[in-house]
Amino acid sequence: MSFIHPTEQQIKEFLAKKESGPIVMINLLKFKKESEEDGKTGEDRYDRYMINVAPMLERVGGRLLWMGAVDGVFIGSDRDRWDRMLLVEYPSRTGFFQMISDPEYLAVHQDRELALETSVLLPAITVMSAFS
């Protein structure tokens, strides 16, 4: 099963939570091997999506904290294998939802859709800062 978009229920639950300051969206991504449209890989399309989304992310006060290629599974099974992981911080749930609802974002979102076989987005709030 492929997960690219949130369900209506997931959107309602996300927006119903109390604003608690910044939120980090943990993105787990599995790319399509090759796009049917132009032969570009899913990774190529996702990179283009990221370049186009960067100014929108900045406008809502968000920032990319970290992005990396997954190098294997240390604990888990092969079904837990992802291609890439991103940590993206937004100033609030509202800021995140504002960005993904913007018509400009929706226009470039097609590259994300064409890039991904499946994905998981996990909203996370801070419970502890880095150790001193």
| Domains, in order of start, for the chain | 22-124 (3.30.70.100)
69 and 84 in contact (C-beta within 8 Å)? yes
Tens of pLDDT along 51-73?
999 999 999 999 999 999 999 99
Average pLDDT, the chain: 91
104 has a pLDDT exceeding 80: yes
Tens of pLDDT along 4-58?
889 999 999 999 998 889 999 999 999 998 766 677 899 999 999 999 999 999 9
Per-residue pLDDT band for 128 (boundaries 50, 70, 90) equals confident
- The pLDDT value recorded for residue 78 is 83
CA atoms within 13 A on the CB side of 130: 1
106 has a pLDDT exceeding 80: yes
State the pTM of this model: 0.89
DSSP for 69-117, please give it.
E----SSS-GGG--SEEEEEEES-HHHHHHHHHSHHHHHHHHHHHHHEE
Token digits of residue 47:
């990179």
Token digits of residue 15:
């927006």
